[in-house]
Structures are given as structure tokens and as C-alpha cells.
Amino acid sequence: MACTATLDVSPPVHRWMDTALQRDAFKKTIPILAAKVSASKTGSLLKSDIMKKSLMNLPKVRSVLRDPHDDLERLVLLNVSEDDALSPEVRNFLQEQSATLVVHNLELTYDYWTADEILHSILPEELCKGSPSGFAITGHLAHMNLNKEYLPYKHIIGQIKNPMIKTVVNKLDSIDTKYRFFKMELLAGEPNYVVEHHESNCRFTFDFTHVYWNSRLHTEHDRLVQLFRPTDVIADVFAGVGPFAIPAAKKGCAVLANDLNPESARYLSQNIVDNKVTSLVRASCEDGRDFIKKVIGRARDHPFPTYTGPKLSKMQEKERRKLQLAESRPIAALGLVDLPTVENQSPRHTISHFVMNLPDSAIDFLDAFRGILSESEWDFGNYANMPMIHCHCFTRELHPDRAEADIIQRVESKLGHKLETEVTLHMVRSVAPNKDMYCISFRLPRDVAFAQ
């Protein structure tokens, strides 16, 4: 709770508020002292070491005001209400500066306090300890996960919002099993769930109630996109509305982006246009398994234009590799992930990376990679280097060694092959007390890709 030396600047307590948030009730007037000095002296007061501990220093509150009665005078606000609270040194210093002490009424209103502070003043005391802190904000929409003990207060909690937020929703426990989007209930504001969200210099539009979006994956999106070279061709099997595909294309990559949810595919197409990457991203709407089987042929038959932007310098390559090693757990027995595969192709027709972010079941799709390449001369020649696979997954093994063993075992069993070289495991986030999300990256074994 905000507090200065002797003043209580916490919001008024209103534990009786139940359904309607009355913002006016949060007005608070605090009489404080101000040093009235000529405008030319304000600098000496503000810079003085003696005054440091006595100056008003509150967020969103201006500490120097014009004197309403005299244009040439200023009021330097102090953090006390009684002059006894000032030390003798401070009083002497103010006298030397010909400052006089006056009472100023500091007016704080609802907007002054943070959502957390307001929550603390309205929730029953026993709920204040672990009160839901803040909101996750996406575009104009704030969403929160309220535990069951907060549910009786959900409507009032929903009303605590800042002016940028037009809609507040509570994420319900149930998640759409097929397309992974959250069911949500409106707590406050307009029932408008189509948001425009900005991330990684890209603009994403989507309907929160019909597609998957998780702002917490922002760093994971960035991490993978940074691994890609601008010359790469990426196949995004579970692309959603494009949080990997669009930023990758913005750096020059060509992307085949797929999602089975027709709504995701529709917003993905809109985002491709809005972000002006139409020549670099192709959207499709089919099952991931079919997409994996067909995508090699699509890139071969309809190549992407050659990358013409600036080349990565040796230095940038080194940095990229360092970053990859720093952020992931190289699986010692298997070696490190090497730099991705294909050098400047002209035009681009060979896939360097597959992204598979469907953590619940992406591993189950890995057998679709068996036989994606044929023994044709073209495939042999162009896939001298196998693509990298970045496959997201969950594990209930919380110890890193056991998580590694569990994930590798499931991946190898689905591929029907041992993972050979260049394997790393990256812990993305903890999604529940007993469930972690990982990304395993590995180079597709040749024998799997060329399997009969």
C-alpha cells in the first residue's frame, strides 16, 4: 500500500460494496503542508539534500504547483501534515529560502490507486492476502482467472479497470477441446471480443471467443522467430492466428501456416494482409497430419520468392547460436542443435523448420513425418540437410532430468526412431502446479523422412 513518511495515502476502505463499484466513494482529501516559495527558488528546494526526505514523492501526483493566489509563487508539496513532523534542519533551510508553510488539500480520486489497492479496500480482509493481482490485457480486453473464493465478488472485481480497457472477462476453466480457445464470461464492459493486439511489431486481429490466443507465449514466439534465418522456409502446423508466422515473415522468412480451426485460418488470412506479408505467408485450414504430409510438395511445386534483404553477418550468426544455447537445455548425450539448414535458395522451395505448438497432442502427430520425402533425385538433392522440428508438449515430470527422459521417450516412440543429433529441450512455462510446457527441438532423422 502506498504510504509516505507520515501520511496515509491508501484508498478508503469500502468492504460493504458488493455489486456496483462507486468510484466517487474513493475520493480522498489529505491536508498536507506545502512550502510556498518564489518560482526562482523551487529548484534549490527540489535539489537540496536536506529536503530530500521531506518532499512529496507520490506516483501520478505533481510535487510543485502554481500558487492559485500568486502567479510568481509556487507550492512545493511536502509529505507531512504538521510542521512538528519536519526536522529542525528542514525548518531552518526553508527559513533561509524565505519559504512559508501553508496547508494544501491533496485530492486523490479513484484513478490514483492501482487495481490491486482498490481490490484490497473492497474485498473481505481474509481474501486480500492472495487477491488476484492485475489482469492480462490483450487489446481492449482484460481477462482474469478468478479462483472460486473470489467468484462471489467477480462482478465488482470486473469493474476495477483502467480507461483503456473496454471489456473484462473471466476465463472459465473449460477450454475448447478441439481448437484450444478458452470459454469466458463477461464481467464488465462491452460484449466485444474481437481484439486488435500488437506484439513483436505486428498487428493481430482475432475473436477471443473463437480462436486460441495466449499473451504469455509472447517470449516463446520471439525465441523461435529469433532462431530462424530470414532466408528460411517455415511450416507452422498449428499456426493459430499467426503469432509465429507473421513475425517470422516480417523478418524475411517464407511461411506455410496452417490451422484446422476455420476461424483461426480466417483471422490468420486477415493478419497476413494487415501486416503486408501476402507474398511470404500462405494460409491453409486442414488437419495438421495432412498438412505435414503435403507441405513438402507444396513448397517444391510453388516456391517462394528469393530472399533479397540484408544477409546475416557472421557476428549475427554467432549471436543467434549463443542465444539458442543459452536458452535451451542441450541434451548432452545427443549433442547441440546446429545452425539451421538451407543456405540462400533461389527461389525458396525447401522447408528448414517445422513449428508444432499444440502442446496437448503435437507429439502424436510426429508419425506423420514418416516418409514425407521420396527417394527422388530432387528430394535427395534439396534435403541434404533435414528440417528442424520444434514440437511443444506438456509433461507432468517436474524434475528436468525426468522431464527430458519422458519427452524423448514419447517423441522416439511416435517417430519410430531414436533421436540422433542436435536435440535441445526448452522449458517454456509452468502451466499448473504439476504440469510444465516444453519445446523439444530436433533435426528430423533422415531414416524417418525417407521411410517407405
Ligand X SMILES: C[S@@+](CC[C@H](N)C(=O)[O-])C[C@H]1O[C@@H](n2cnc3c(N)ncnc32)[C@H](O)[C@@H]1O
| 180 makes contact with ligand X (CB under 6 A) | yes
How far, in Å, CA of 300 to CA of 410, rounded?
Answer: 31
Helix axes 314-327, 218-227, angle to 10 degrees: 140
Among the candidate windows 138-146, 260-268, 276-284, 325-333, which touches ligand X by CB under 6 A? 260-268
First CA to last CA distance, the chain: 67
CA 279 to chain centre: 27
Choice between 80 and 255, CB closer to ligand X: 255
How far, in Å, CA of 10 to CA of 306, rounded?
Answer: 61
| 179 makes contact with ligand X (CB under 6 A) | yes
Here's the x/- map for ligand X, 104-133, by CB under 6 A: it reads as: ------------------------------
| 283 makes contact with ligand X (CB under 6 A) | no
How far, in Å, CA of 93 to CA of 445, rounded?
Answer: 77
Taking the complex as a whole, how short is the minimal distance between the CB of residue 161 and ligand X, in angstroms?
25
Closest CA to 218 of 116, 340, 312, 357: 357
Helix segments in 82-175, DSSP class H: 88-96, 115-122, 125-128, 154-159
Strands (E), 297-339: 329-330
| 358 makes contact with ligand X (CB under 6 A) | yes
| 239 makes contact with ligand X (CB under 6 A) | yes
Single out the residue of 139, 158, 230, 243 in contact with ligand X (rule: CB under 6 A): 243
287 known ligand binder:
yes
Taking the complex as a whole, how short is the minimal distance between the CB of residue 281 and ligand X, in angstroms?
13
Among the candidate windows 35-43, 234-242, 367-375, 442-450, which touches ligand X by CB under 6 A? 234-242
The residue sitting closest to ligand X, measured at its beta carbon, is: 240
| 264 makes contact with ligand X (CB under 6 A) | yes
Long-range contacts of 128-133 (CB under 8 A, 24+ apart): 132/157
Name the one residue in this structure whose C-alpha cell is 488437419.
287
Choice between 270 and 374, CB closer to ligand X: 270
| 139 makes contact with ligand X (CB under 6 A) | no
| 217 makes contact with ligand X (CB under 6 A) | yes
Among the candidate windows 26-34, 98-106, 238-246, 273-281, which touches ligand X by CB under 6 A? 238-246
| 438 makes contact with ligand X (CB under 6 A) | no
240 known ligand binder:
no
Phi-psi region of 236 (alpha: psi -120 to 50; beta: other; left: phi over 0): beta
| 259 makes contact with ligand X (CB under 6 A) | yes
221 known ligand binder:
yes
Span 185-214, contacts to ligand X by CB under 6 A = 212, 214
Single out the residue of 82, 287, 319, 447 in contact with ligand X (rule: CB under 6 A): 287
260 known ligand binder:
yes
55 known ligand binder:
no
357 known ligand binder:
yes
Contact between 187 and 146 under an 8 Å Cβ cutoff? The reply is no
Among the candidate windows 50-58, 99-107, 128-136, 239-247, which touches ligand X by CB under 6 A? 239-247
Name the one residue in this structure whose C-alpha cell is 528448414.
352
Q: Is residue 149 helix, strand or coil?
A: helix
Taking the complex as a whole, how short is the minimal distance between the CB of residue 259 and ligand X, in angstroms?
5
| 379 makes contact with ligand X (CB under 6 A) | no
Contact between 73 and 36 under an 8 Å Cβ cutoff? The reply is yes
Name the one residue in this structure whose C-alpha cell is 526448452.
426
How far, in Å, CA of 119 to CA of 256, rounded?
Answer: 46
Q: Which residues contact 391 (CB under 8 A, 6 or more apart)?
A: 354, 356, 362, 363, 366, 411, 439, 440, 441, 442
Q: Which is it for the CA torsion 406, 407, 408, 413, positive or negative?
A: positive
| 296 makes contact with ligand X (CB under 6 A) | no
Closest CA to 300 of 378, 376, 385: 378
Taking the complex as a whole, how short is the minimal distance between the CB of residue 232 and ligand X, in angstroms?
17
Binding residues: 221, 259-260, 287-288, 357
Give me the residues that bind ligand X (CB under 6 A), please. Answer: 179-180, 212, 214, 217, 238-240, 243-244, 258-261, 264, 287-288, 357-358
Q: Which residue numbers belong to the known binding site for S-adenosyl-L-methionine?
A: 221, 259-260, 287-288, 357
